[in-house]
A and B are shown apart, each in its own frame.
Chain A
């Protein structure tokens, strides 16, 4: 099968656009891929430990509600960073994806602030 990208830009190897550690590059050396697999396993252990800490801190210690919320959300955010950063490769992604996610984050924050604006609205009740 002809590579359409090569047809568009003759003489340019499209694979050279992707650098080391780039998840879009599928021409990594086997050593590089095996190294990534070890990282995935390390992240898994980290996520498992953080889950145990979340349960221990919120459930075992029986913290007051506001403290439980803060602790749980901080740990959940760290776990979210690990999943998004390593499993979804967002630590080394393309600018287009960052652009999509920044736009999404703006709308997401707006959604989260809607309840606050509702409670601040004197005509709301």
Chain B
């Protein structure tokens, strides 16, 4: 019975879950996350395209820095860049076999993300107090849509990081390489979120 179950288990094992396929050189999750990121490029691309359409078609367009909080947004840009570094440092320490330092850097990433969201919350609150809402004009409509969607992506990343800090960390005991791969995958997503902000910041705040 046990031998039969063992054979059954081997048959059900998903190939290339940890090590890369010989032909593509990629393990499953890495190929999957890049396909997902390609779809994300199109999602944000559609919004950037809408922004161009609205801006080029408008008789006048407000310059973001005249009323948005550039100092807070600059601070947030530094915070997000810092969080990208902490992710790759976490991944590097995991590759070195150091779970403790890896978790410290993942925690630092979560902290940076929460600081970013808090600062964004203050920004939104200020805009609402000034009676600036998405319905006010096209600039604010696209501003709230793009920064709001970006903020949701930050929140999603935080949830995944917290999972890997908590229950997901059990994977390290049995499959440390798989756990390291997972942090690489969520790191790729996180860098993409950083990349989107790198373009959102000057386009919305500085032009």
Contacts and interface: CB of A to CB of B under 8 A. Distances in A.
A87 B191 contact: yes
Tell me what chain A mostly uses at the interface: helix, strand, loop, or mixed.
Answer: helix
A33 B96 contact: yes
Contact of B53 (A4, A15, A69, A115): A115
A83 B84 contact: yes
Q: Give the size category of A's interface with B.
A: 35 or more
B30 interface: yes
B31 A96 contact: yes
Contacts of A100: 34-35, 38
Nearest to A78: B198
B15 A8 contact: yes
Contacts of A73: 202
Contact of A40 (B46, B65, B92, B207): B92
B152 interface: no
Q: Give the size category of B's interface with A.
A: 35 or more
Contact of A1 (B25, B92, B175): B175
Interface in B41-94: 41-42, 45-46, 48-49, 52-53, 56-57, 63, 65, 70, 74, 77-78, 81-82, 84-85, 87-89, 92
B178 to A, nearest CB: 10
B51 to A, nearest CB: 9
Interface in A88-120: 88, 94, 96-97, 100-101, 103-104, 107-108, 111-112, 114-115, 118-119
A94 B206 contact: no
A68 B56 CA distance: 15
A80 interface: yes
Given A5-B19, A17-B25, A58-B202, A68 B70 contact: no
A72 B206 contact: yes
A108 B207 contact: no
Given A18-B20, A48-B81, A72 B202 contact: yes
A14 interface: yes
Contacts of B78: 48, 51
22 contacts: A3-B18, A3-B19, A15-B19, A23-B184, A24-B25, A26-B180, A37-B88, A44-B81, A44-B84, A51-B81, A58-B202, A65-B207, A76-B198, A87-B194, A96-B25, A101-B38, A104-B42, A108-B42, A108-B45, A111-B49, A115-B52, A118-B57
Interface of A: 1-5, 8-9, 12, 14-15, 17-18, 23-24, 26, 28, 30, 33-34, 36-37, 40-41, 43-44, 47-48, 51, 54-55, 58-59, 65, 68-69, 72-73, 75-76, 79-80, 83-84, 87-88, 94, 96-97, 100-101, 103-104, 107-108, 111-112, 114-115, 118-119
